Structure 1
Amino acid sequence: MCVTDQEKGTVRAVERALDILLCFSGTEMELGLSEIAKRVGLHKSTVHRLLASLETKGFIRRHPQTDKYRLGWSVLELVSNVYQSDDLASIVVPEMTHLRDEVGETISLYIRIGKERIRTQAVESNQPVRRVANIGQRLPLYVGASGKVLLAWSDPQLVQEVIQDPAWPRDLSKKEFKAALVKTRENGYAISIEEREPGAAAVAVPIFGRDKQIVAALSVSGPVDRFTPEAVERFIPAARNTAQLISKMLTR
């Protein structure tokens, strides 16, 4: 079968668009047109046309003040689908279910996308009063145990970008938050008590991938009145054991 010049051109355009998206696989949150063109080795006019197409489909967003580009919400939708796939679910959900049965609270799995975290899997508690976990929910990294875990093992540049974000709450001390990240890494877990919503508490631990980089945060969450010091002492080792097991399964 003969491939026409038009078809070849379409394939090249797709490859170039994918190359542009891959420019954002590092720690940089935003890139300018010139920087993207340099990285992919294309003229700025060509890159501008491709960026316009990606922006139309929601894969790229342009900051109106700086004219810099960042990944769009369509990427989140794709990633959410990947992490809810049958393959991953077959690995993590059974272990999350075992953990839920052991501690009696809701278990959630979070990944980081940019400066947000997204819940990709959840196994809710069987208790009448429980933490309701919505799959696909996006939350900031600066609030909650899982956010601290995802940041504590991330690049320092990302931590700085999160702290300098205009959305940073005025009543949240940046100095205390940095100290909390250090403590999280030293302890190997994070705890949050009514940080995101009244009456809720959580314990979170990291899950690592093949390259020893953090890939997700595993959390135990529920009503704050059930998160007594004695209960938390049970939750932490149980969550750690499950996270370590999932890490091993993901790196086989």
Structure 2
Amino acid sequence: MAGRPRTSDEAPQGAAASLLNGLGVLEAFSIEKPILGVTEIAQRVGLHKSTVSRILSGLAEAGYVQRDEATGRYRLGLGLLALSGPLLADLDVRRAALPYLEELTDRTGETSALAVWNGEEAIVVEQVPSPHQVKHTASIGTRYKKFASSSVRVFLAGAGREEAMSLLESGAVVLGERSRSAAARELADVRNAGVAVNDGGTTPEEFGVSAPVYDYRNRMVGCVTASAPRSRAQGEAAALLAAAVIETAAAVSARLGAGAKRAPA
């Protein structure tokens, strides 16, 4: 199939073959050729027309393609937007946040980062390192699942008590030495304050502070974090760093349209 190189000399069988055939049909559409008939698709993917017709029927039922009743030809459906929504949200928030992260690091001299939530972990998707020789950094792709992490607590607080407790009880998020009741109280505090602080909770030398980022639907889509050696982030310095993170997260949220009033329908 075009655009999908073979990785094995063995042809896929059963469900794997069906999945690859379905993906091949979707990949047949392009900006240059957004509307295709069954015969055109069959020629592009190297499948029999009857096979392509069955695949298209299933994709249409799922909303991934749309059939024009007048011409019998197909175009991609809006269902694909829902399927790609989480990825698009991640890309949008990363692009929107970068200049604000750069400003945060310039302002504080500490490492700034953006994380998103995959349902169980906070994942770093952008970072601007501190210019100091002694600093705390986390490469893009770093995952956090300890409750003590400020980013994890921000996401758990936003998820709500029931979901957060489920993740803690299952062990998906590592609670550590805290009791579940103490964790619930901490998350309530984070929810009320709009910020979480990690003062040596994950490693003895690290101070971290995180605040949530919201999109135009006022849905949490990420969090801004600043990290520093604890020796540079105590007392007033810690309070100033937390305030800067809250302001930065609010600025990114505003950039994504959070809190904007919508015109009545």
- The answer to whether TM tops 0.5 is yes
Query: What is the number of residues matched between the two proteins?
Result: 192
Contact kept? 2:124, 2:141, Cα under 8 Å: yes
Aligned to 1:100: 105
- Shift in alpha-carbon separation, 1:129–1:88, aligned structure 2, 3 A: same
Moved over 4 A (4+): 12-19
Q: Aligned-pair distance for 1:7?
A: 1.2
Aligned to 2:210: 204
The Cα offsets for residues 8-35 of structure 1, whole Å up to 9 and x where unpaired, read as: 322345567899xxxxxxxxxxxxxxxx
Q: Aligned-pair distance for 1:151?
A: 1.1
Spell out the pairing of 1:140-155 with structure 2 (5 A cutoff): 140=145, 142-155=147-160
Contact kept? 1:117, 1:141, Cα under 8 Å: no
Q: Aligned-pair distance for 1:133?
A: 1.5
Aligned to 2:141: 136
Aligned to 1:56: none
Q: Is residue 184 of structure 1 aligned with residue 229 of structure 2?
A: no
Aligned to 2:180: 174
Q: Is residue 250 of structure 1 aligned with residue 256 of structure 2?
A: yes
Structure 1 gap ranges (5+): 20-74
Contact kept? 1:188, 1:205, Cα under 8 Å: yes
Larger Rg: 2
Contact kept? 1:200, 1:221, Cα under 8 Å: yes
Aligned to 1:11: 56
Cα distance in 1 between the residues matched to 2:60 and 2:119 = 23
SS at 1:153's partner residue?
A: helix
Structure 2 gap ranges (5+): 1-35, 39-48, 65-83, 261-265
Cα distance in 1 between the residues matched to 2:203 and 2:57 = 48
Alignment RMSD: 2.6
Letter in 2 for 1:152: A
TM-score norm. by structure 2 comes to: 0.65
Cα distance in 2 between the residues matched to 1:185 and 1:135 = 26
SS at 2:152's partner residue?
A: helix
| Paired-residue identity, % | 23
Q: Aligned-pair distance for 1:170?
A: 5.2
